[in-house]
Amino acid sequence: MNTALPLNQISATDAAAAIAAGKLTSEALVAACLERISQREDEVRAWAYIDRELALKQARQRDRETPRSRLHGIPVGVKDVIDTCDLPTEYGSPIYRGNRPTCDAACVAQVREAGGVILGKTVSTEFATRHPNKTRNPHHLAHTPGGSSSGSAAAVADRMVPIAFGTQTSSSIIRPAAFCGVIGYKPSFGLINRAGLKFLSESLDTIGVLTRSIPDAALIVEELSGMPSTSFDQVKNLKPRIGLCRTPYWNRADAVSQANLERAASKLAAAGATVTELNLPAEFAALADTQIAVSGYEFSRALTHERTRFPQLISASLTGRIAAGLKVTRTQYEAGMALAERCRGHIEDAFGHYDVLLTPSAPGEAPGLDNTGDPIFGLMWTMLHLPCLTLPCGTGPQGLPLGVQVVARRGGDAALFVNAEWIRHALG
């Protein structure tokens, strides 16, 4: 453990090792995170609900136990579209103000079973869509942290918690991670069990995490999914084959972000990677609109109770998106699903030539507070069910973080971790 760092800043991996060795208590770690929240929450507004005594009670209990897993004693933030039995879950909507689920979501129950500490609920946008909530970007409070995993990204970036759950239907982990300068990891579709998540889109919704290191992301997802532990010892010997994929939406990225990605590709080639261009077949260009149609078809139905019983409590922006989703016909929906399946086959073939792809995370740095940013660079990869990871890389013209996105083949999450860690080192 890096003893020079305040406890709230150390990685989950280092903290877990120190707890297992008896050199750190969960109570001290949780107390340090709570102190940071006390100092900064009025400005950052990352949390939907915190019960300090409950968090400390959990930590004290963990300190009385023999460590159960590598997650033992580690505080975790939970996005407020994921059910918790002892904290309110309001889904970012006034419709559910004060809502108290009777059961934990599966991923929350697993964290508890593994000995983790549920620190609190992080702010989500309305039903994990695009309507902004109260959270600010900790790097500049006049800018958005992105969405929909707004609070999770901001809390991790501001050293309030080492790990927080996010969810992604379009770009809701990848984009806020880029805007806040943290690691955002969307696993292969279905890797983390989704029971107890407020569904929007049954074919796309994916639970993932925001952290400050790649080993921390691997730690929690491996514990929850049963994946073997990733060995990062091999990283220094890698010579990755990287496909530079600008995507069909390259013109949506600003000039600074385009230059940032190309500069990153050059640095990786200089560090020993084989970097070649991947130009996708023409039909991939339709995937972004397909994702919008498919997700709209699904979430307009998933929110039937809310839209029919409480229409006045739904934002104008979401009301418009629901109306558009209801216009998507079953024939259009099935055609979109068929296109996605064809493209999944094409991209699997492409991964015969590449270990990972390098692609944009977002069109630029975080915009102001009136919107959560353009999700364009997450839509396609989410539709393809591929594991994706955003790395901090550079800054924009206003000094806000930029990111690059690393994408692996479906089921290749372990390869994503080690290749992304190599890329992180190579980018400095």
Catalytic residues: 79, 148, 172
Q: Residue 18: which residues within 8 A CB-CB, separation 6 or more?
A: 1, 10, 24
CB 162 within 8 A of CB 137: no
Which tokens hold the place of 301?
């139905």
> With the C-alpha atoms ordered 374, 389, 393, 76, is the resulting torsion angle positive or negative?
positive
CB 239 within 8 A of CB 272: yes
A 10 A CB-CB count for 330 gives 8
In angstroms, the CA 421 to CA 355 distance is 13
- The 3-state secondary structure of the chain, one letter per residue: CCCCCCHHHCCHHHHHHHHHCCCCCHHHHHHHHHHHHHHHHHHHCCEEEECHHHHHHHHHHHHCCCCCCCCCCCEEEEECCECCCCCCCCCCCHHHCCCCCCCCCHHHHHHHHCCCEEEEEECCCHHHCCCCCCCCECCECCECCCCCCHHHHHHHHCCCCCEEEEEECCCCCHHHHHHHCCEEEECCCCCCCCCCECCCCCCCCEEEEEECCHHHHHHHHHHHHCCCCCCHHHHHHCCCEEEECCCCCHHHCCHHHHHHHHHHHHHHHHCCCEEEECCCCHHHHHHHHHHHHHHHHHHHHHCHHHHHHCHHHCCHHHHHHHHHHHCCCHHHHHHHHHHHHHHHHHHHHHCCCCCEEEEECCCCCCCECCCCCCCHHHHHHHHCCCCEEEEEEEECCCCCEEEEEEECCCCCHHHHHHHHHHHHHHHC
State how far the alpha carbon of 21 is from the alpha carbons of 15, 65, 115, 213, 223, in Å. 10, 13, 15, 21, 19
